[in-house]
Structure 1
């Protein structure tokens, strides 16, 4: 039951992340993706540090910086570059390859045995997401494809290293999330100021959108995400990320009037099956010996004969 509860709580994270696209397009000022990323990361990270009153110690200063850049600071810009250069379906399909990256990295970084089971279901998940979001008219752009692949590798590496390094003793998941969000936000701060700046028209709906992305899509979700990474197999956690494009497609159908085709519904079924199957750890059968021997019972101690 604990495993099921942890899985369901962690699955909330990609479900919330699936709302990012519609919140960005419907509530936020256009053409300011870096500013949105900065607002999503830095304030949420500082709030987490204030609430937990924990700062990194020792090696966790550089570990937090590395994880913050991989999971947030580098991942967010690469994600938006991909979105600008590629159709949304292609970008989502590239992002769906993260479970495959993690399935390979755990062999070299965590010294785990390669899981053909989870890798195979990861492939099925990518196919399912592709059926849901890809269109026949999709055009490929070299810059977009490279950025999408780098973003997938960046997040996959960050997730794997988060599992490897764990958390310092007594440090809650919110503190770890706060360190990484702050590090990622500080990395994004000069990039945003140099390349984009702040939008000039921030109305009430934009403020609501930024609050959702920062407090719910940032602080709340990353706390649950890092908690789940600490308690579940990291490859299983990575596959849960497939829920994000599925939720985005569902919201598009419900709120924007988009109609799902038969192929898209088949893709939903494949992706959901892959997510469920990846949470199962197949048991290995013990090898059977062709010859068996029955152990003799231990001999009773010889007693002295009375005379």
Structure 2
């Protein structure tokens, strides 16, 4: 992998690592049993901040495209993620994301005309096995609502990744503005459901405010900016595999912050996840070529 591709992958991977902390923040800092409120507060303030900075609204087809991407990448994904976080242990909730690369693999073949290669399939299997070793422990709590929400969250995010890659960012629109469109749409879609379905809490503690601030500024504004940058620069499947950093981070935070045990199988699982991510990342082709051709090589994984 070239230096620029390596740095792009490393920066993009930081977003799922941050999202892995969502499970810890949700259970430790946010008001209980309010996934809609948590989703709205994560998306809408960050989106409005970015809109105020960019001062540019969508035009033409980008009105409905922003609506679709905002729902898939933000609105539906956030809500389903928080439902899973409230119903399942963090690692088990993250386990459901392992189907995401498989969905991306199929959608990329259909929409982006990417070839499905044996290395892609192997990375999918390896990643799923690694996450399973990380989170499927004998005492893991399994809840049907949480499992369904986690699965649908993976479908939503996978569709959003491929459509974002397929449509690309409109010309002369900055990355922060593009991110702001989606965060704002996602937040606005969630807002009426939040007010009607949950309402506002009777009181808000300092811990609640700290949790909302972290999820909005770090978990949404910053993390999604570098995530969409990665979607633009890296192959869709490679970006999707970086999402495995979320369950890895959730498991490690549980170990270091909540004093949860980390078994030898979980250590093997963590190493397996890392191997799957590395395997899925783009690499330059190996062929005899003139120097000018070598500089324009494209990655194999796409």
Structure 2 length as normaliser, TM-score?
Answer: 0.89
Q: Which residue of 2 aligns with 1:146?
A: 148
Does residue 114 (structure 1) correspond to residue 116 (structure 2)? The answer is: yes
- Matched residues in 2 for 1:70 and 1:157: separation? 7
CA–CA distance in 2 between the matches of 1:241 and 1:194? 32
What is the alpha-carbon distance in structure 2 between the residues aligned to residue 84 and residue 61 of structure 1?
Answer: 33
Contact 2:17/2:249 (8 A) holds in 1: yes
Q: What do residues 21-45 of structure 1 show as CA deviations (whole Å, max 9, x unaligned)?
A: 1112222221112101100001111
What is the match of residue 19 of structure 2? 17
Corresponding residue number in structure 1 for 2:294: none
How far is 1:136 from its partner? 2.3
How far, CA to CA, are the matches of 2:91 and 2:214 in structure 1? 24
**Could you tell me which residue of structure 1 aligns to residue 43 of structure 2?**
41
Give 1:201's match in structure 2, choosing from 191, 200, 203: 203
Q: Give the match for residue 57 of structure 1.
A: 59
Return the offset for 1:85: 4.4
Contact 1:18/1:246, CA 8 A, preserved across alignment: yes
State the distance in 2 between where 1:122 and 1:192 align: 35
Structure 2 spans left out of the alignment, 5+ residues: 289-302
Residue deviations 1:237-281, cap 9 Å, x none?
000000011111111111111120000000001001111111144
Q: What's the CA shift for 1:78?
A: 1.9
Q: Which residue of 2 aligns with 1:178?
A: 180
| Structure (1/2) with the larger helix percentage | 2
CA distance in 1, matches of 2:169, 2:119: 28
Per-residue Cα deviation, 1:89-109 (whole angstroms, up to 9, x for no partner) = 432211122111111110001
Which residue matches 2:192?
190
Structure 1: tracts of 5 or more residues without a match: 287-307
Computed over aligned residues only, the root mean square deviation of the Cα atoms, in angstroms, reads: 1.8
Secondary structure of the residue aligned to 2:183 is: helix
Q: Who is 1:304 aligned against?
A: none
Give me the whole-angstrom Cα distance separating, in 2, the residues matched to 1:148 and 1:26: 20
Q: How many residues align?
A: 286
Return the alpha-carbon distance in structure 2 between the equivalents of residues 228 and 280 of structure 1.
12
